[in-house]
Structure 1
C-alpha cells in the first residue's frame, strides 16, 4: 500500500514521531519525481491505512494540519500550514480496493453515529412515554378510593365529602355554627383531590429551591373529573394567567380576597352542593327545619354504615394500622387526617374512643402535624401540592 504526502507534512510527522510503531519499522520512504511529494510504503496495508485515515481527517479542516490526539477547538493548538498542492494531492491517496475499504469504514462510522443518536432519541421518547403512563396510572388509582370492604362505586367519597361528613351532625344535618375553618378547609381539599387525580401539580422548585408556598399551581390535565365542583375549580386554575400559589387559590376559591376583580373565582354554596352529592349517593337526606325567623335546609344522616366506616378508617390509621412513617401511609388517608384537622372536624372522629385510645390517637395526629412540609415534600413519591396545602394551613 502506498501513501502520498507533501514534504512538509512528512517532515512534520517524522519529527513529531506521530507514526505508529509498526509503520516506522516497516515503512519505505522515497521521493516523488518532482520532489513535491513523498511516498510511504508499508506492509501489511492495515497499518498505513489507519494512519492515512488519521492524516486525512487531520488535514480536512480549513486546509490546516492539526496534531493528532488534540482537540481542534483547543486554544493554543499548534498548526502546520499544508503546502499548496494540486487538487486531491493534499489528502491521503489510496488506490483501488484500499480506497473503497477506507470509504466503507468511514461510512460505517457515520452510519453508526447516526444510529446511536437515533437510538438515544427513541430511548428518551420511550422514557417520557413511560413516565406519562405512570402518572396516568397514579391518577387513575387516585380516582379510585381503596376500600377493602367492597363498597360500590356510588359510595366512593371525595376528600371534600369525607371532611363534610365528619363535620355534619348526624341528626341535625348541619355543621357547627362556630366552625369558621371548614370553608377554607374544603377548598384545600379540592386542590389536594385534583392533585391526587393527576390534574394539578406545583411548578418545579428550580435552582433557587423555592418554598412550597411561593411555587405556583399549574394544570397538568384538564380532563373532566366527573365532579362539578372539581371541574369548576380546575377551569379557574387552568384559565388564570399568571398562575397563583396554593395560599392564593384557597383564598380566591373561598372568596376571601380584597380584590373585586377576582371575586368571580369564589365557589359559592360549596357545603350545600357537597351535601346534595351525598344525598345522591344515598348517604344523607334532605329536610326543612324552622329556626324561629327562617327556615333552613338540612341534611340528616340516612346511611350510618358509610359514616361509621369513614370514622373507623380515620381511627385505625392512627391506632391499629399506625405505621409511624408518613411515606408508608396511604396518601388519601394522610390527606384526610391533615385536612380534617385543618377544618376542625377531626375531633368528631375520635369522640367515640375511650380516654386511653383518644390520647394515643391525638398524640400520633400531633406527630403528623409536627412534620415539616418542606422536608416531606422533597422525599420520593411525595405529593408536593398536598404538603403545600398543609403548609398553608399550619404556617
Structure 2
C-alpha cells in the first residue's frame, strides 16, 4: 500500500505486560486488546526504557532516551514525531486525560468518528490505572481479592480494554479501520509496591519495565505475529514515522517494520537493551536505644542492561546493584550480584562465575552508554569493573 495510513497511538500507564489474557493471564479479561493483537502483532518482550511517566512519554514521541527531568508526554505537535508527521502532510489530534476514563474515552470516540481529510495522526493518553481503580462495583464482580488492590487493578485493566473496544468500534464506524495503523502500549508496568512501600514503578525489575506493545496495520503487516525480540518504547516513533513516509532526525530507537513484516529473525534484532531509572527511596524506620528515628536514603539514579536472559542493574550514589538470571529466576527474587555462598536453590552452582558475568555485562552496559552519550552509565560501569565491592552495601544516613 502506498497511501499514507492514519496513525492511532493509545497510551496507558501502569499496565503491566503480563496483564493480558492473550499472553496467558487467565485471571484477566482483555478481549479487545487480545483482538488487536490477533489482528496485528504482539511484542512479548517490549520494555519502557525509563519506567516513569514523564521520561517514558518523552522517549515514546522522540525515539530517543529521555532526560530524567522530562515532565510528561509533550504536546503532540511539539514532539519530534509530531513535527515529522506534519512535515509530510498529517493533521494531528491529541486526547489528554483531563477527566476520568469515561471522559477520555468519549473524547477519543468523537475524534475517531468525525470525518476528516486523511491522513491524520491521533495520540490518545489514557488516565493512569490508579486514577480510576475505585471503578463501579459491577466491574469488580469477576475478580476476587482481599487486603490488596489486585482486584481493583484487574478490574481497571478490563476497563482499559473496554475503552479501547469503544475506540476500535468508533474507528470501524468511520470506515477507515483498513487504512489505519493502530498501536497500544503503556508508559510503565506496575510493581504493586512489592519491592518497597513507595514505588508503583520506578524499578528496573520486569514488573515495572515490561509493558504491552500491540500494533495492527491491516494489509501492511502479518496478522497474528508474536514477536520475541527485545524492543523499547523509543522504537515506536521511528516505526510510526516509517509507515507515514516521514523521518525523525537523531533517533536512537529502531524502526520495527522489519520485525512486523517478518523480514528479520527476532533473535538477531538486538542482543541487549539499555534502561534508565530513578529509584525512589522510601523512609525506613530503625530502632536504636528504644527510639525510632527515620532513616532517610537518597534516590538512586540507575542504569540497567537486559540481554533477554541476564539483567544487570547498577545504581549511583552508593546504591545497591543487582544481577538476575531470569531463566532460572523469572521473578527476580535472588540477587546474584553479591550473593553469599551457599545460595538458595543452589543458584551459585548454576551461575558458575558471578563476578565474570558482572564484569562482562558491565562492559556491555558501558558500550551501550557510550553509544548513547550517557556519561553516568559509563561511570557506573567503570566503578563496577574496577571495584568488586561497589554496590554491595547500600548507603544511607540516620537523621
TM-score, structure 1 normalization: 0.23
Higher relative contact order, chain-length normalized (CA < 8 Å, sep 6+): 2
* Structure that is richer in strand per residue: 2
TM-score, structure 2 normalization: 0.23
Flag the structure with larger Rg.
Answer: 1
